[in-house]
């Protein structure tokens, strides 16, 4: 904060000395300072941690549109504030000129390494790729990347519908397979039951089963020589 010829550099801040419009390279740490406000200026930078969110339009390596939402945590390197002021501008310029565009480029570089279906299962890998690439990019401009959070990956409406149809088709396939397997198992069980029954049936057992179901009425007419039913008695 500047109060006439006095400047206060608060905790987590640095002040860069500017004399007659020229960055001298002198950096003031936290504290109170007296300076000639006619010929000098002190530009203050906040070097504490910041978190910004960004939406990036990117594409997969199979040319499908992807929308990625990330949260980027970073800070300005206190040792780089004089060079930042000289080459980039003030603190607010760091975000608009460096952080925002470099986030876009890092996201595009990461998504271009994967086809669209891989992105559903490789969020951790994509997040790490964004972090590694963005960390190098920001370091060149005096910013220190601390964390990247991959908050969302969105796809085109057409792709989301295709995924939905694929999921439904897979569910139907699994249901059909389940029913087919159940039918086979029932048939196998029935065949085993019949085979076991076949092995245990005897003539006497068949007669006994028939007698259990007989209503006790003999046929009105029987051909000559025909045995009495179930009793095997010839007239």
The candidate with the shortest Cα–Cα distance to 56, out of 6, 104, 125, 105, is: 104
The verdict on 232 and 207 lying in the same domain is yes
Query: Strand pairing of 6-9 and 2-3?
Result: antiparallel
Cα–Cα distance, 114 to 123 (Å, whole number) = 11
Q: Which residues pair with 147 in a beta bridge?
A: 73
The verdict on 126 and 33 lying in the same domain is no
Q: List Cβ neighbours of 104 (8 Å cut-off, separation of 6 or more).
A: 54, 56, 57
pLDDT number for residue 184 = 82
Residues spanned by the domain of 208: 203-235
Q: Which residues pair with 43 in a beta bridge?
A: 16
The verdict on 232 and 218 lying in the same domain is yes
Cα–Cα distance, 74 to 172 (Å, whole number) = 48
The count of domains in the chain is: 4
How big is the CA angle at 133 (ends 71 and 111), to the nearest 5 degrees? Answer: 75
The verdict on 109 and 89 lying in the same domain is yes
The verdict on 185 and 214 lying in the same domain is no
Q: Is 207 exposed, middle or buried (0-12, 13-18, 19+ CB in 10 A)?
A: middle
**pLDDT in tens for each of the 235 residues of the chain?**
555 577 889 999 999 999 988 999 999 999 988 877 788 889 999 999 999 999 998 888 888 888 999 999 999 999 999 999 999 999 999 999 999 999 999 999 999 999 888 887 889 999 999 999 999 999 999 999 999 999 988 886 666 566 655 655 556 677 778 777 778 888 888 878 777 777 666 666 666 667 666 666 655 555 555 555 555 544 4
The verdict on 129 and 180 lying in the same domain is no
pLDDT number for residue 234 = 45
The verdict on 94 and 145 lying in the same domain is yes
Is the pTM higher than 0.75?
A: no
Contact status, residue 71 vs residue 63, Cβ threshold 8 Å: no
The verdict on 21 and 115 lying in the same domain is no
Give long-range contacts, CB 8 A cutoff, 24+ apart: 121-125.
Answer: 123/150, 123/153
The verdict on 187 and 151 lying in the same domain is no
Contact status, residue 74 vs residue 91, Cβ threshold 8 Å: no
Query: Strand pairing of 22-28 and 13-19?
Result: antiparallel
The verdict on 68 and 88 lying in the same domain is yes
Cα–Cα distances (Å) from 24 to 13, 34, 213, in that order, read 18, 16, 115
CATH number at residue 89: 3.30.479.30
The candidate with the shortest Cα–Cα distance to 7, out of 36, 49, 39, is: 36
Cα–Cα distance, 106 to 127 (Å, whole number) = 10
Last residue of a domain, one of 99, 121, 155: 155
């Amino acid at each position: 904060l500047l109060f006439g010829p006095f400047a206060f550099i608060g905790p987590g801040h640095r002040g860069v000395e500017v004399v007659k419009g020229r960055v001298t390279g002198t950096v003031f740490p936290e504290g109170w300072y007296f300076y000639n406000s006619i010929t000098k200026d002190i530009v203050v930078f906040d070097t504490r941690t910041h978190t910004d969110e960004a939406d990036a339009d990117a594409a997969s390596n199979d040319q499908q549109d992807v929308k990625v939402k990330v949260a980027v945590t970073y800070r300005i390197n206190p040792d780089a504030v004089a060079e930042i002021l000289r080459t980039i501008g003030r603190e607010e310029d760091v975000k608009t000129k460096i952080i925002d565009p470099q986030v876009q480029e890092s996201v595009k570089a990461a998504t271009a390494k994967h086809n669209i279906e891989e992105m559903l299962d490789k969020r951790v890998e994509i997040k790490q790729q964004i972090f590694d690439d963005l960390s190098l990019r920001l370091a060149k401009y005096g910013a220190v990347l601390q964390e990247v959070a991959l908050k969302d990956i969105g796809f085109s409406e057409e792709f989301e519908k295709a995924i939905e149809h694929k999921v439904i088709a897979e569910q139907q396939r699994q249901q059909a397979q389940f029913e087919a397997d159940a039918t086979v198992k029932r048939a196998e069980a029935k065949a085993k039951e019949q085979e076991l029954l076949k092995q245990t049936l005897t003539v006497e057992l068949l007669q006994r089963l028939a007698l259990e179901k007989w209503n006790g009425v003999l046929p009105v007419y029987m051909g000559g020589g025909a045995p009495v039913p179930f009793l095997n008695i010839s007239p």
